[in-house]
């Protein structure tokens, strides 16, 4: 069994957990913090769903998509929130 798949997912879930803790301590408005934490939580849920899709349909969903999706989603959410696009 290839345990690299599991390691990638666990590392991302731990990183996202740490990101949620870091975001909660940022000196930004509470509404922005709530939106960022929601984005991180949704990303964690999507990561788990993508992982199980990858296990079931390994040829349709490559592991690299599963591995980079959290970085992309959290980065996009942080950019939109911190630039004021969602709050204006």
33 Cβ partners below 8 Å, 6+ apart? 23, 24, 26
pLDDT digits (tens, 9 = 90+) for 20-78: 888 888 788 888 888 888 888 888 888 888 777 766 656 666 666 767 777 777 777 77
pTM for the model: 0.61
């Amino acid at each position: 069994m290839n345990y690299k798949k599991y390691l990638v997912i666990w590392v991302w879930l731990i990183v996202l957990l740490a990101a949620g803790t870091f975001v909660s301590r940022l000196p930004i408005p509470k509404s922005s913090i709530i939106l960022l934490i929601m984005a991180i939580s949704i990303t964690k849920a999507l990561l788990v769903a993508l992982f199980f899709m990858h296990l079931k349909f390994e040829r349709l969903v490559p592991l690299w998509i599963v591995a980079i999706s959290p970085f992309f989603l959290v980065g996009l959410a942080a950019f939109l929130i911190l630039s004021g696009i969602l709050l204006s």
